């Protein structure tokens, strides 16, 4: 690679904090599905997570499984179908009208304007991006000629927040992920927290108190799943002192415990 390409790769690696932060990854071999079944309406739920089915081409042999997509690719067409209909549902449909909730990775959802009637199969056409991270905290760049470098191998790992938190480097304390709705402030976190998706329904600014006695090398990522931190700002505190804020809708902040205090890894 030339010097400009080197700086691009180095810049992305540093921006992600090595293997710490995830990013969107386009897989040219696996990025779109048609008539993907995402569930059956139960008459109670208004939100359904967008999933991708993997496994055998023969559904009868049982070798299939589902996984939530990383991110919905909003630059491509999205269509919703009910049962065996060949006509996509209009987003303003009086019964099945919907919006798309795409702020949280691995929690991409179709949200109906009203709870749809029970017993109907939901399927979609969609394009998606993987949510991935670098597989290591180091990269080996070899300069073999003037203005030319070699990077022989880059390992990426697909992240699965919904199955137990973000995948972090082996030296980082891993903690489960959870999504919560807050109705009063402050919100107290624990030393078991990792990824925390927050919907703030308190109607005012939110104070978030980090664990007073964190786990070794604990990393906490706080994401505004409710999408209203711009109106109701977050202040993150530890031991009574502010260590960060989130002041934009659908923003996030990542922090790591270094043994003596919390420091920011990234924010938006």
Q: pLDDT digits over 89-133, tens only?
A: 999 999 999 999 988 888 899 999 999 999 999 999 999 999 998
CATH of the domain at 178: 2.60.120.640
167: in domain: no
The span from the CA of 237 to the CA of 139, in Å, is 34
Nearest in space to 22 (alpha carbons), one of 131, 143, 174, 156 = 131
CA angle 210–195–10, rounded 5-degree value: 105
The verdict on 131 and 176 lying in the same domain is no
Sequence-distant (≥ 6) Cβ neighbours of residue 112 within 8 angstroms: 46, 47, 96, 97, 98
The verdict on 194 and 246 lying in the same domain is yes
166: in domain: no
259: in domain: yes
The span from the CA of 147 to the CA of 161, in Å, is 39
**Per-residue confidence (pLDDT) for residue 268, from 0 to 100:** 62
Neighbours of 221 (CB within 10 A): 25
Find residue 242's DSSP bridge partners.
237
Do residues 179 and 161 touch, judged by C-beta distance below 8 A? no
The verdict on 149 and 193 lying in the same domain is no
The verdict on 41 and 93 lying in the same domain is yes
Most confident of 5-14, 110-119, 171-180: 110-119
The verdict on 35 and 145 lying in the same domain is yes
**Per-residue confidence (pLDDT) for residue 59, from 0 to 100:** 56
The token pair that represents 87 in the structure block: 């006509």
The span from the CA of 231 to the CA of 60, in Å, is 50
**Per-residue confidence (pLDDT) for residue 57, from 0 to 100:** 61
The verdict on 176 and 264 lying in the same domain is yes
Q: Which of 161, 184, 218 is the last residue of a domain?
A: 161
Domain that holds residue 47: 1-161
Whether this prediction's pTM lies above 0.85 is answered by: no
Average model confidence (pLDDT) across the chain: 85
Instruction: Assess whether pLDDT exceeds 90 at residue 33.
Output: yes
The verdict on 219 and 155 lying in the same domain is no
The verdict on 47 and 152 lying in the same domain is yes
**Total domains, the chain:** 2
């Amino acid at each position: 690679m030339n010097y400009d390409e080197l700086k691009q790769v180095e810049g992305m690696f540093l921006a992600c904090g090595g293997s710490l932060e995830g990013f969107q990854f386009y897989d040219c071999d696996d990025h779109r599905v048609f008539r993907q079944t995402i569930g059956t309406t139960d008459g109670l739920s208004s939100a359904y997570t967008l999933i991708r089915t993997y496994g055998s081409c023969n559904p009868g042999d049982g070798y299939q499984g589902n996984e939530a997509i990383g991110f919905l690719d909003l630059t491509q067409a999205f269509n919703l179908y009910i049962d065996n209909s060949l006509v996509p549902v209009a987003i303003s449909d009086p019964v099945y009208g919907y919006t798309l909730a795409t702020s949280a990775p691995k929690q991409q959802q179709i949200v109906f304007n009203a709870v749809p009637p029970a017993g109907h199969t939901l399927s979609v056409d969609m394009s998606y991006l993987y949510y991935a991270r670098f597989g290591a905290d180091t990269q080996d760049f070899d300069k073999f000629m003037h203005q030319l470098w070699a990077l022989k191998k880059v390992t990426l790992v697909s992240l699965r927040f919904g199955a137990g938190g973000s995948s972090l480097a082996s030296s980082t304390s891993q903690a489960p992920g959870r999504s919560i709705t807050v109705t009063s402030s402050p919100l107290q976190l624990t030393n078991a927290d990792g990824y925390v998706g927050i919907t703030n329904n308190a109607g005012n600014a939110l104070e978030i108190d980090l664990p007073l006695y964190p786990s070794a090398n604990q990393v906490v990522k706080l994401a505004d799943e409710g999408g209203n931190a711009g109106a109701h700002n977050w202040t993150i505190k530890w031991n009574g002192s502010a260590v960060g804020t989130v002041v934009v809708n659908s923003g996030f902040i990542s922090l790591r415990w270094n043994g003596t205090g919390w420091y920011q890894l990234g924010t938006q």
